[in-house]
Amino acid sequence: MRVAQTTNKKLVFAILLSALTVGLMLTLGRVPLAVSQPVTIPAKAVKGQIPMDGANPIWESVPGVIIPLSGQLITTPMHPNISVKSVFVKAMTNGKEVGLRLEWIDQTKNDTAIGPQDFRDQVAVMFPVNTAGAPPFQCMGQSGGTTNIWRWNAEWQKDLGKDSAGIWDVDDQYPGIFWDYYFEEPAGGVTYPDRIGRSLGPFNSGIWSGNIMSDPTLRVSSVEDLSANGFSTLTTQAHQDVIGNGVWEPSGSVKGGGYTGPTWRVVVKRTLENGDANDVQFKAGMSVPIAFAVWDGANIERNGMKSLSTWFTLKL
C-alpha cells in the first residue's frame, strides 16, 4: 500500500484548520458529529397495554436512541436553518401492538395554524410498505417504493374534544370576530353538513368533500395515517389505523427522557398487522427500516421545510 506524503506545511495546516472550523460550527449548531448509539432501535418486549402517556413509568426502562436530524435540502421548499437537531426514540411491543415514544427539544408550543402567521409542531415516522430488500428513497419514497407515514400533528391534538365539532376554529383564535349573516344558518347556530350536497348550516366545501383536514370526525386520533411514493404524492389513507398522544412539557424532561428543558413527548401506536395493503405490516422478530421528520412551527417549518433523518432500523 502506498502512502501519499507532502512536505507542504501550509497545505497541511489549511486542511487541519478547515476540519477544525467545520467541527466547531457543527458543535455550536448542536449538530451531532457522530452517532454514539447503534443504528438499530430495539423494541422492548412488554406485557399488557402500551401506555399512550409518554410520562408513564413503563417507558423509563425502555432503551432509547438519539436520532440525528438535518435540514431537508433535496427539493423545494428547502429549509437549512432547522431548530430541531435530533429526536430521542424509544420503542416497545406487547406481541399485538408496536408503540414509539418520540421526544425532542422545542422551546415553544405551536398547536394551531388558524392564523396566516402560524405553523404547527409535527413529527412523523416513515416505513417502507415493502420491507424486503433495500428501502426506498428517504424523502417519502419513490415510484414503485411506497412508504407508510404516521404524522402526529399538534393542532389535531388541540382539536381533540374541542366543542361539539371537535375543532379549533377562527372564532376561537380570534374571539373578537364578528359576522353579519351566514346563508341558511339555523337559529341554534352552526351545525355539520350532511355531505349530500345541501348544508345543514353554512356550506363547508372541505367537510362536504370528506377532507380529513376539515372534518375532525374522520380522525381516529392526533395522528394521520398517510401513503407516499415520492415528492408531491402524500395522500391521506381512506382507513386511519394509527393512534397517538402528545404532551408539551415546559419545565423539563421526565425520568428516562433524553433532554432537559422544554420538550415534546409523543407516543404513536398501531397493531402489528392489520391487513391494510397501504400499511407496513410487522411481525415479531423482524427488522424494519424506519425514518423520522420533525417540524418546528415557531421556525416557520411546514411541508418540505423540516428536520429529517436517514433510514434506521426498528428491531421487533
In a domain? residue 164: yes
For residue 119, the model assigns a pLDDT of 96
Phi, psi of 166, rounded to the nearest 5 degrees: 65, 35
Phi, psi of 170, rounded to the nearest 5 degrees: -60, -40
In a domain? residue 296: yes
In a domain? residue 191: yes
Residue 297, domain CATH: 2.60.40.1190
| Cα distances (angstroms) measured from residue 177 to each of 18, 167, 170, 190, 256 | 56, 17, 8, 15, 45
CA distance 213 to 219: 9
For residue 4, the model assigns a pLDDT of 47
Q: How many C-beta neighbours within 10 Å does residue 31 have?
A: 15
Element (H, E) at 70: strand 70-71
CA distance 236 to 93: 26
In a domain? residue 71: yes
In a domain? residue 170: yes
For residue 256, the model assigns a pLDDT of 83
Grid coordinates belonging to 287: 427488522
pLDDT tens sequence across 2-39: 444 545 655 545 555 455 544 444 444 444 433 444 58
3-class secondary structure for 113-176? CCCCCCCCCEEEEEEECCCCCCCCCCCCCECCECEEEEEEEHHHHHHCCCCCCCCCCHHHHCCC
In a domain? residue 98: yes
CA distance 234 to 237: 9
Q: What distance lies between CA 28 and its chain's CA centroid?
A: 25
Nearest to 65 by CA among 94, 95, 44: 44
In a domain? residue 77: yes
Q: How many C-beta neighbours within 10 Å does residue 96 have?
A: 11
In a domain? residue 26: no
Domain that holds residue 187: 41-315
- Which residues of the chain carry a pLDDT beneath 50? 1-4, 6, 12, 17, 21-37, 193-201
What is the count of structural domains for the chain?
A: 1
pLDDT tens sequence across 161-214: 766 556 787 878 888 887 665 555 555 555 554 444 444 445 667 777 888 888
